[in-house]
Amino acid sequence: MTAESKRSRYSAEYDVPVRGDQITADRYITREWMALENQHLWPKVWHLGGVLAELEEEGDVIRHNFGKESVIMVRQAPDETGHAAVKAFYNTCPHRGNRLILGDVGGAPRITCSYHGWQFDPDGTLVHVQDPEDFSGGNPCGKVKLAELRCDTWGPFVFWCMDDDVKPLHEWLAPFPERLAGYGVENWVRVLNLSADCEFNWKIIRDNFNESYHLPTVHPEVATFINDGLPSTLFEMYPSGHNSMWMVGHQATTRNDYVSGDVPPGLYEAAEAWGIDPKQYRGRTNEIREAVIKAKRERGPALGYTNYKDMSDQQLVDYFHCTLFPNLTLTMSPEQLQILRTEPHPTDPEKCVFQHWCLYPPVAGMKEVVTPIGNVPLTHDAVARHSTYGDGVSVGFVADQDLSIGTSQQQGLNSRGFKGCLLPDQEKRVQRFHELLNDMVRGKP
């Protein structure tokens, strides 16, 4: 190996310089930082609120609790063209502030407050109050509305945003709607809906998803079928603030010699799954990736993978990790979309909520899918659960490993001896994340 091949690789087209701001511990620990994020960061970004599959009928509602905030998304009546929009409202009653919706999903012709029984149409209009004649300004029905916020959809997802000046959703998501178009995720099914309360700041896992430096140490098992070698992995950083990482799949890491011997476990099963005899690839295991591309093109459509035809070769076999600023990760492969994110705790900067959703394409005849927690029926929210990390309930095999470092990192960051991060080049996305955060939270220098 040459010295050059041990350096990280950034896209020539999508790279940005960083300033080198020091990343100190206060941002992970203090209430001051948390308050600044609540004021300057979270209102200024789009938030993934839920999946459209839960909003089929007029009046269907999903709730998204975020920190101290709570937002509801409500399916509207269809217009003349048959299109039914979704609106988002703050989950608070305009009478005296009671939270309106107390469950994660629901549906009724009217939203009814459980305190004094005020009722609202799905479009947020107040339509019923007790004692309407007793208001000196006249009956408020038809005049008062729920506080609305921006709402839009992309693929199978609903998003909301608290600020009117943030770019429209599809621009804000750039370049991903275009980059991900070939996967055809619109009708994919959310099979896993897992979440957990965690004992660390939300940015700890954001940093982790902004680097692949931890793969050999935290996820050693994936080394035989995901090539995390530095010259092979491609990092991109976009003007939008989002970034991505292309990891070569169906190929072992180039950090060790997995090529000259037998096909290693993991890669072995991946080849067999596509009718490839791994024994034929002894001494040239790195050629399996090409063979899988060929097999997927030939056999995929007959197996029901109708989306393969719109994908590039790279999309067919590699892993595309899309990390959106500030807190959303989409990990794409042709047969699985993982949503991974952390959200702040309502009051404690040293806690967060971790969420892991897995979506799968609806393949004709397929009853079950292999998920990060085992085989699960291919149905909406086949497993939906909330746990406390550390109680032994899995949030997914690889995600469990990621979370396993969170608590001890939070503890270490509290030490007087920690003076700020020291990053290799391959962690430039971590550096950029914190510089974007600094610009938003403290203002541009």
CB of 205 to Fe ion, least distance (A): 9
CB of 86 to ligand FES, least distance (A): 23
Binding marks (x or -) toward ligand FES, 35..74, rule CB under 6 A? ----------------------------------------
Round to whole Å and give the CA distance between 325 and 329.
9
> 401-432 burial by CB neighbour count: b if 16+ within 10 A, else e?
bbbebbbebbeebeeeeeeeeebeebbbbbbb
Nearest to Fe ion by Cβ — which residue? Answer: 402
Complex with ligand FES: residue 118 or 274, whichever CB lies closer = 118
Binding marks (x or -) toward ligand FES, 76..115, rule CB under 6 A? -----------------x-xx-x--------------x-x
- DSSP one-letter string for 275-342: T--GGGGTT-GGGHHHHHHHHHHHHTGGGT-TTGGGS-HHHHHSEEEEEETTTEEEEEETTEEEEEEE
Tell me if 435 sits within 8 A of 394, measured CB to CB.
no
CB of 110 to ligand FES, least distance (A): 13
Q: Which of ligand FES, Fe ion, none does residue 98 bind (CB under 5 to 8 Å by kind)?
A: ligand FES
Segment interacting with Fe ion, rule: CB under 5 A, options 82-90, 242-250, 333-341, 398-406: 398-406
CB of 176 to Fe ion, least distance (A): 20
Strand partners, 342: 354
Binding to ligand FES by residue 116, rule CB under 6 A? Answer: yes
> 244-281 burial by CB neighbour count: b if 16+ within 10 A, else e?
bbbbbbbbbbbeeebbeeebbebbbebbeebebebeeb
Q: Vertex 323, ends 369 and 441: CA angle to 5°? A: 140
Binding to ligand FES by residue 337, rule CB under 6 A? Answer: no
Binding to Fe ion by residue 402, rule CB under 5 A? Answer: yes
For residue 38, what is the DSSP state? Answer: I
Segment interacting with Fe ion, rule: CB under 5 A, options 225-233, 275-283, 371-379, 400-408: 400-408
User: Which residues have CB under 8 Å from 442's CB, separation 6+?
Assistant: 36
Query: Count of CB atoms within 10 A of residue 147's CB?
Result: 11
Complex with Fe ion: residue 207 or 402, whichever CB lies closer = 402
Which of the residues 267 through 296 are near Fe ion (CB under 5 A)? Answer: none
CB of 98 to ligand FES, least distance (A): 4
Q: Where does this chain bind Fe ion (CB under 5 A)?
A: 402
Q: Where does this chain bind ligand FES (CB under 6 A)?
A: 93, 95-96, 98, 113, 115-116, 118
